[in-house]
Structure 1
């Protein structure tokens, strides 16, 4: 696990270090991810993180393999509602979405737009295509799954076992609304 990757927000003030390879790399098409991306794109200077067909591309990393190198004081959480089980973390220095965290999750879904094009991990699957009205228009370059599969959850469980069933807390500096 000697491989490390450094990524940053659009302006470079908020930087992360990722150790090793991701648990998996996916594109999510759930209603929640698409709605959050649409709202986050309205922040001043923000770019839309959706693909041309409406997916949110992420690399899932164990929390214990993600380190904030700089700019932690810029990180704010965004939730679609006050009781939402997910939060999206945004670097407010340039309004760049950085990652998604599931409630009680032991992993972070790091948004792929943070990598330079030449180094960006390739998605292995698209999930939650069942939420789309027109899923038949999706590219067929990788599996297009209607929901999360047993294999998807098995990879996450394997990572959690590898972490000794720990769930490190990720502190942020506050909240934003979009």
Structure 2
């Protein structure tokens, strides 16, 4: 198992610790990630999380291998709709997006922007490429499926089985992002 890695927000007040290897590393091109990334880019001081291809880099970890070790009081959630089961969590101290949480799932997608230069796990695939912005040509360095693939889901299920089919809750995020 890889040694623990500490990831922090831009100002350093929030830190997350990840242990072990990720389930996978993906660039997501879904319209929701593009929409959330555009919203986050409007926050004061926020660094962009969507690249020139319209992709958001996620490093997918089992929830039981991720901990907030500092600054949980700064974490707030943002949901694209009031009834969304997916929330994106931001460190309000500096408006750094931290992770995407499928609340009913057993994994977290940590934003690739948290990794220091040269330490980001290598890209496994791009997903949801059906939402690639017009005029963007994706490189063929990794698979570029239109939607999530069977192998994508298989990796999630294998990780879930290794967790004993538990679904840990992320209970340290308190409150919603106030953007007024």
Which residue pairs with 1:155 in the alignment?
Answer: 155
Per the alignment, do residues 49 and 2 of structure 1 end up closer, same or farther by CA in structure 2, a change over 3 Å counting? Answer: closer
- Please state if 1:173 is matched with 2:155: no
For residue 4 of structure 1, report the CA deviation from its aligned partner. Answer: 1.1
Question: Where do 1:92-131 residues align within 5 Å?
Answer: 92-131=92-131
For residue 136 of structure 1, report the CA deviation from its aligned partner. Answer: 5.8
For residue 39 of structure 1, report the CA deviation from its aligned partner. Answer: 0.4
Aligned mates of 2:135, 2:170 — CA distance in 1: 34
Number of residues paired by the alignment?
Answer: 178
Query: Could you state the TM-score of these two structures normalised by the residue count of structure 1?
Result: 0.96
Aligned mates of 1:85, 1:169 — CA distance in 2: 13
Which residue pairs with 2:45 in the alignment?
Answer: 45
Which residue pairs with 1:55 in the alignment?
Answer: 55
Contact 1:129–1:135 under 8 Å retained in 2: no
Aligned Cα root-mean-square deviation (Å) = 1.3
Aligned mates of 1:22, 1:106 — CA distance in 2: 13
For residue 49 of structure 1, report the CA deviation from its aligned partner. Answer: 0.5
Question: Which sections of structure 1, spanning at least 5 residues, go unmatched?
Answer: none
Segments of 4+ in structure 1 off by > 2 A? 132-136
Query: Could you state the TM-score of these two structures normalised by the residue count of structure 2?
Result: 0.95
Contact 2:78–2:87 under 8 Å retained in 1: yes
Moved more, 149-158 or 168-177: 168-177
